[in-house]
Amino acid sequence: MTVPQIITGRFDLPNSYTIEQYEATGGYQGLRRALGMTPAAVTDEVKTASLLGRGGAGFPAGVKWGFCPPGVWPRYLVVNGDESEPGTYKDRLLMELDPHQLIEGILIASYAVGCSQAFCYIRGEMALAQERVAQALNDAYAKGYIGKNILGTDFSVDVVMAWGAGAYIVGEETALIESLEGNRGMPRLKPPFFPAAKGLYMQPTIVNNVETLSNLPWIVNNGGTAFAELGAEGSKGTRIFAVSGHVKNPGVFEVEYGVTTFRDVIFGEQYAGGLHEGRSVKAFIPGGASAPWFYEEHLDLPLEKGTVDRAGSMLGSGAIVVMDDTTDAVKACLSVVKFFAHESCGKCTPCREGTTWLERILKRILDGYGRPSDLDLLLDVADNISPGIAWPPKQTTFCPLGPSAVSPLSSAIGRFRPEFEAYIRKGMQQRAATAPQVPINTPAAALATEGAGSHG
Amino acid sequence: MARYTVDNIELAREIIGRYPRPKSALIPLLHLAQEQDGYVTDEAMAHIAELVGITPAEVLGTCTFYEMFKLEPVGRYVVNVCTNISCMLTGGEDLLHHAEQTLGIKAGNTTSDGLFTIEEVECIAACTESPALQVNYRYFHKVSNNDFDQLVADLRAGVRNDIPPHGTLGLVRQHIPADRAAGVALPEVSVEPAWMATKSTGAGADGGAS
Ligand SMILES: Cc1cc2nc3c(=O)[nH]c(=O)nc-3n(C[C@H](O)[C@H](O)[C@H](O)COP(=O)(O)O)c2cc1C
Ligand code: SF4
Ligand code: FES
């Protein structure tokens, strides 16, 4: 059986983003078909498809739709197009290259769930995606696909394009809702603020990822059963994976979910084509910066949610980042930790202070000012953010961002501890050989003394 | 300068009208101000506050959370170089250093001629095309040092008309035609949508049973 390109099929067509090309290639047929079904029947198809959310958490879309409390109106649909997890590159392409497919998905979901208004929130930095989606919305309105009495039926919904202004945390669904309300993008506490129950303006709100929604036209056209015939176990259909880092042909690939392995997409000739000459895999991130790292021994695992979860990490946002044996584990760890420290919204202390300290301590280790106790200190700070440093992570925080900073740290120290120790040893030897022992007036020195009394 | 122009007041009203609550328009309105002036001025924030019906402090509160909003003038071209993990592994830091050297400024600063600002940024969703950068939020993929020099030369020579000045994002705006609009769904107006009521009495009532 050849695996269909369910969501990337139009990417290579000329003017793939225009309504003419979309209509010429089966566009809006899924919407027509859905409108001939009851909303409940559409939801059932999506449940049959076992379509898992593609935004990171992997929750089944059809099940989530069912969580809206009955009889509470209006309901809203919020599209999460804030893609910004390091390594992740797919939603931008889906918006730039096939915006009508996304819009059709938004309409199908709104119809099935009973949403009276939909908001498509696009990351602020994505000017072209905003432009393509705005044009697509204008064209779809003009053709009667959106708005009042869609295609002559009693289904009416406006799709409003909203856009952000630079903040990773706004990808978290409750922060996204805050941002849509015009506020600082800080997450809300769950419970009670599960969006399906209390979301936008405290009304039932379904938040779905761009890729999740882009699958809906195909599912409605071909049936949930056809979708579920692809893939394995709990991971059905196809899924986009972006393979980046130290590979010959980094790229974005739609592959059969659940059966394709990491080795396939990293080494396969039609995929990333393997590592550069003479290099070997030191580590790879299986699902975006928040995910614990995998190693050589994980290469033959299938890209299947349950399998990867059980192996101690996650497929997250479908971002595979390969690090070869030339990679400095301490530097790579700092890079990811720094990201989370920078993007912490500051609402909770363990995340705000903890990620900042993790970054500073890692930085001083790299700069040659690390101390023998620093690795324990790092893990202690990490333990305050995510008690037990386990997987799946526990959290002392409002949202999972804080614990996300712990993943690269526990991975890198767990696997490459000698590299950290080597930095610390080398720095100490160098300083022992020179006097005065602690240079004055350098920021790192200030940190070294300042931190000395603060712990234990 | 600085308060909205007559045309932009018109646009701002249209944007506000799309949301059930005026404050929801805040980020698009701040972008509109930045598009008009290149950065977000105090006067613009005061004007937005009037239009939305909140205080200028509330506007500032939202504005300062988001990195794209600049409270002071920046270069005509804001160059954002990604140094996150995928780019770091493939030369993003070297590219940033090269950019700093070429333009003679450190990240976070603007050249004295007001043409360029450099920023070191987090992942911009171009990870398989690393190292990547943006100029005024337009993408450049797999950027070599030579590519960078060429880009800067082109921008200096004024031959990159595809890159509008800082502040302008998408060149197409959404317009919902009045005769096609379904209308905003106010949270306080609790009516079951027509298609749910007629086609299935209990579609939403399945409570996730599966
Ligand atoms: C810190 C953080 C960042 C997130 N960023 C994104 C994002 O950029 N895009 C996205 O779709 N989901 C993101 N998510 C997941 C969303 O909270 C949410 O689960 C998702 O949008 C739901 O859509 P789905 O069920 O279709 O996957 C993020 C979650 C967290 C905790
Ligand atoms: S964990 Fe971090 S990002 Fe999340 S709410 Fe707390 S401070 Fe904000
Ligand atoms: S890591 Fe640089 S674009 Fe994603």
pLDDT in tens, A370-406: 999 999 999 999 999 999 999 999 999 999 999 999 9
Tokens of A325: 């044996």
Read off the pLDDT band of A443 (50, 70, 90).
Answer: low
Query: Is pLDDT of A455 > 70?
Result: no
Interchain CB distance below 8 Å, B138 and A202: no
A73 lies within 8 A of chain B by CB:
yes
Q: What is the pLDDT of residue A203?
A: 98
Non-local CB neighbours of B78 within 8 Å, separated by 6+ positions: B116, B117, B119, B135, B136, B137, B166
pLDDT of residue A221: 98
Three-state secondary-structure class, residue B35:
helix
* Whether A111 contacts chain B with CB within 8 A: yes
Residue B164 corresponds to which tokens in the numbers above? 């509008």
Q: How many CB atoms lie within 10 A of CB B175?
A: 13
Pocket of ligand 3 (CB under 6 A): A 86; B 82, 84-87, 123-127, 130, 132
Tokens of A284: 């790879």
Residue A237 in tokens: 């259909």
Identify which of A60, A131, A332 has the shortest CB distance to residue B170. Answer: A131
Q: Cβ of A182 and B25 within 8 Å?
A: yes
Tokens representing residue A251 in the block:
């790229």
Assess contact for B100 and B111: CB atoms under 8 A: no
- Under 8 Å between Cβ of A162 and A394: no
Q: pLDDT tens across A281-335, in order? A: 999 999 999 999 999 999 999 999 999 999 999 999 999 999 999 999 999 999 9
- Residue A416's identity, in one-letter code, is F
Which residues in chain B are contacts of A211 at CB distance < 8 A?
Answer: none
Decide if A292 contacts A391 (C-beta within 8 A).
yes
Write out pLDDT tens, residues A151-198.
Answer: 999 999 999 999 999 999 999 999 999 999 999 999 999 999 999 999
CB contact under 8 A, A39 and B208: no
pLDDT at B48: 98
- Give the number of whichever ligand sits closest to the CA of residue A186: 2
Per-residue pLDDT of chain B (210 residues; tens, 9 = 90+): 589 999 999 999 999 999 999 999 999 999 999 999 999 999 999 999 999 999 999 999 999 999 999 999 999 999 999 999 999 999 999 999 999 999 999 999 999 999 999 999 999 999 999 999 999 999 999 999 999 999 999 999 999 999 999 999 999 999 999 999 999 999 999 999 999 987 644 444 343 333
Residue type, A167: A
Confidence at residue A448, expressed as pLDDT on a 0 to 100 scale:
52
Is A254 part of the contact surface with chain B (CB cutoff 8 Å)? no
- Rounded to the nearest angstrom, the gap between the alpha carbon of residue B61 and the centroid of all alpha carbons in its chain is 17
> Are A20 and A273 spatial neighbours (Cβ–Cβ below 8 Å)?
no
Count of alpha carbons within 13 Å of A58, Cβ hemisphere only?
A: 19
Query: How many Å apart are CA A46 and CA A63, to the nearest integer?
Result: 9
Give the pLDDT of residue A404: 97
pLDDT in tens, B161-199: 999 999 999 999 999 999 999 999 999 999 999 999 876
Q: Do B210 and A47 touch (CB under 8 A)?
A: yes
On average, the pLDDT of chain A sits at: 95
**A130 and B170 in contact by Cβ < 8 A?**
yes
The partner residues of A52 in beta bridges, in order of sequence, read A60
Give the ipTM of the model, two decimals please.
0.95
CA A377 to ligand 3 center in whole angstroms: 29
For residue A78, what are its two tokens? 């919020």
Q: How many residues does chain A have?
A: 456
Do residues B77 and B155 make contact, with C-beta atoms less than 8 angstroms apart?
yes
Calculate what percentage of chain A has a pLDDT beyond 90: 93
Q: Is A401 in the pocket of ligand 1 (CB under 6 A)?
A: yes
Instruction: Closest CB to A166: pick one of B68, B195, B210.
Output: B68
Host H or E run for residue B189: none
In the numeric block, the tokens 């609550």 are attached to B21
Atom of ligand 2 minimally distant from the CA of A355 = 2
Confidence grade of residue A222 (pLDDT, cut at 50, 70, 90): very high
Ligand 2 proximity of A30 Cβ (cutoff 6 Å): no
CA angle A378, A379, A382 (to 5 degrees): 90
Is A103's pLDDT higher than 70?
Answer: yes
pLDDT at A435 over 90: no
Comparing CA positions, the residue from A129, A201, A140 lying closest to residue A163 is A129
The Cα–Cα gap between B197 and A165 comes to: 38
Residue partners of B160: CB distance under 8 A and separation at least 6: B135, B151, B154
Give residue for tokens 């969006």.
A195
The alpha-carbon gap from A433 to the nearest alpha carbon of chain B, in Å, equals 31
CA of residue A357 relative to chain centroid, distance: 25
- Tell whether the model's pLDDT for residue A452 goes beyond 70: no
CB-ligand 2 contact for A405 (6 Å cutoff): no
A175, A346 in Cβ contact below 8 A?
no
pLDDT, residue A2, reads 80
In angstroms, rounded to a whole number, what is the distance separating the alpha carbons of residues A86 and A323? 14
Q: What is the pLDDT of residue A434?
A: 80
Q: Is A53 in the pocket of ligand 1 (CB under 6 A)?
A: yes
Tens digits of residue pLDDT in A252-285: 999 999 999 999 999 999 999 999 999 999 999 9
Supply the DSSP symbol for A189: P
Which residues, in sequence order, are bridge partners of residue B135? Answer: B79, B138
DSSP annotation string for A245-307: ES-SS-EEEEEETTTSBHHHHHH-TTTT---STT--EEEEESSSTTSPPB-GGGTTSBS-HHH
Dist CA A290 CA A286 (whole Å): 10
When CB atoms are compared, the residue of B23, B28, B89 closest to A323 is B89
Average confidence (pLDDT) over A87-100: 98
pLDDT reported for residue A386: 97
Contact indicator for B122, A342 with CB cutoff of 8 Å? yes
Which of B95, B123, B134, B141 to mutate to test ligand 3, by most ligand atoms within 8 A of the CB atom? B123
Q: Please name the amino acid found at residue A404.
A: S
Dist CA A67 CA A343 (whole Å): 30
pLDDT beyond 80 at A445: no
Backbone angles phi and psi of A401, in degrees to 5: -65, -45
Q: Under an 8 A CB cutoff, do A116 and B89 touch?
A: no
DSSP symbols for A165-199: -S-GGGGSHHHHHHHHTTS---PPPTTT--TTTS-
Write the single-letter amino acid at A215.
N
A156: phi > 0 → left, psi -120 to 50 → alpha, else beta; which?
Answer: beta
B192 to chain A nearest CA, in Å? 6
Torsion of Cα atoms, B41 then B42 then B43 then B46, to 10°: 130
